[in-house]
């Protein structure tokens, strides 16, 4: 039987860095353990900020010094330096936006002012260039630094340079610039360096001080265990948030009503994906009920298919309505109720 991604990554961490590196201790748990789901300040590997808990990480390096947890301001004698989330996804046919789905795991550390790392082990697929852009802009927006890496020796370099802040800052700056250029080269090639072209192709509407990201999300995406769209929704939310880090983000679910949102708030409050969508700062979910000026016949068409997958006749209906709504929001014929 093939080894799990979790086991492969954790063994590689131990082989490359050991339990102590330049005086920094490693916190890591066996594959079968659930201890990583506890907050870091409580002995786990999950970081939170402002009462929002993010995904658990695979490893963290720390010193025995005082640290205030940004989740609940608890002070513990355990100062984290780096938190790392790793995956072997590139060897497991993860070539698309599934790569975004674990982005939030290291984000809690970044929000705390730490170095958050998302490690994607080299494989048959390549890293989506969007990830490098997300991490670069997150490093501009948040207190900490976010790095996407494929070589664990970068972690070793950071720990070895950590006590020389000038050299460390130069190292991190160069690495961020290098990975940003990977993103920028792809962006320039695919979208001609034009954010409006990006917006047209990525279901996004750019306004002066806010952005609308629209999608065919539905209540069933968060209530049916067979659905993966909740993970995709979170990944796309973070991509939009950090690409437009200086604007408010409205995430418009075209196949969802206000009543659906109320239902999910009541019954899925502990669902990780829904929780993040509802609690991420500067991001707000909007529904078909929040489009002012929308004709009743268009709204009724979407409500009629709101629990149906976007394929076949339902897919045709959705795509027709989506085009009308996007054009109306761009032109000002429709307005999002803010």
3-state class (DSSP) for residue 76: strand
User: Half-sphere exposure (CA, 13 Å, Cβ side) for 42?
Assistant: 15
Question: What's the CA gap between 299 and 118, in Å, rounded?
Answer: 40
Give pLDDT tens digits for 65-84.
999 999 999 999 999 999 99
Q: How much is the pTM?
A: 0.95
Partner residues linked to 75 by β-bridges? 68
Kindly report the average pLDDT of the chain as a whole number.
Answer: 95
List for the chain the helix, strand, coil content (%; round to 5).
50, 20, 30
Single out the residue of 152, 159, 73 nearest to residue 118, CA to CA.
152
* Spatial separation of the C-alpha atoms in residues 182 and 177, rounded to whole Å: 9
Estimate to the nearest angstrom the gap between the alpha carbon of 14 and the chain centroid. Answer: 26
Lowest mean pLDDT among 58-67, 84-93, 111-120, 223-232: 223-232
Side-chain-facing half-sphere of 193: CA atoms under 13 Å: 3
Q: Distance (Å, rounded) from C-alpha 198 to C-alpha 315?
A: 23
* Residue-wise pLDDT tens digits, 295-329: 999 999 999 999 999 999 999 999 999 999 999 99
At 118, list the tokens: 């998302």
DSSP summary character for residue 32: T
Residue 31, pLDDT score: 83
- pLDDT score recorded for residue 230: 86
| pLDDT at residue 226 is higher than 70 | no
The Cα 204–Cα 201 span in angstroms is 8
SS3 171: helix
pLDDT value of position 92: 85
Calculate mean pLDDT across residues 24-48. Answer: 95
Domain residue ranges in the chain: 5-187, 195-336
Spacing of C-alpha 264 from chain mean position: 20
pLDDT in tens, 173-199: 999 999 999 999 999 999 999 999 999
């Amino acid at each position: 039987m093939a080894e799990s991604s979790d086991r492969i990554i954790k063994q590689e961490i131990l082989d490359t860095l050991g339990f102590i590196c330049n005086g920094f201790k490693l916190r890591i748990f066996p594959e079968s353990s659930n201890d990583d789901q506890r907050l870091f300040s409580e002995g786990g590997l999950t970081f939170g900020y402002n009462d929002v808990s993010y995904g658990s990480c695979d490893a963290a390096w720390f010193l025995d010094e005082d640290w205030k947890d940004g989740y609940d301001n608890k002070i513990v004698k355990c100062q984290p330096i780096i938190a790392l989330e790793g995956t072997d996804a590139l060897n497991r046919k993860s070539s698309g936006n599934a790569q975004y789905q674990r982005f939030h795991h290291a984000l809690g550390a970044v929000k705390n002012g730490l170095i958050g790392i998302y490690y994607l082990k080299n494989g048959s697929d390549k890293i989506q260039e969007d990830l490098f852009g997300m991490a670069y802009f997150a490093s501009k927006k948040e207190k900490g630094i976010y790095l996407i890496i494929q070589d664990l020796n970068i972690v070793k370099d950071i720990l070895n340079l950590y006590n020389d802040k000038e050299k460390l800052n130069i190292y991190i700056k160069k690495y961020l610039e290098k990975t940003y250029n990977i993103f920028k080269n792809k962006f320039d090639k695919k979208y001609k360096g034009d954010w409006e072209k990006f917006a047209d192709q990525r279901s996004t509407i750019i306004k002066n001080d806010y952005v609308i990201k629209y999608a065919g999300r539905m209540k069933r995406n968060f209530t049916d265990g067979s659905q993966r769209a909740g993970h995709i929704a979170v990944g796309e939310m973070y991509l939009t948030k950090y690409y437009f880090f200086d604007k408010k983000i409205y995430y418009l679910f075209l196949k969802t009503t206000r009543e659906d949102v109320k239902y999910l708030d009541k019954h899925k409050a502990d669902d990780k994906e829904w929780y993040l969508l509802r609690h991420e700062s500067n991001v707000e979910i909007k529904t078909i009920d929040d489009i002012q000026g929308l004709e009743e016949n268009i709204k009724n068409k979407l409500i009629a298919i709101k629990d149906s997958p976007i394929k076949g006749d339902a897919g045709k209906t959705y795509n027709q309505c989506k085009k009308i709504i996007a054009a109306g929001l761009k032109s000002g014929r429709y307005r999002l109720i803010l």
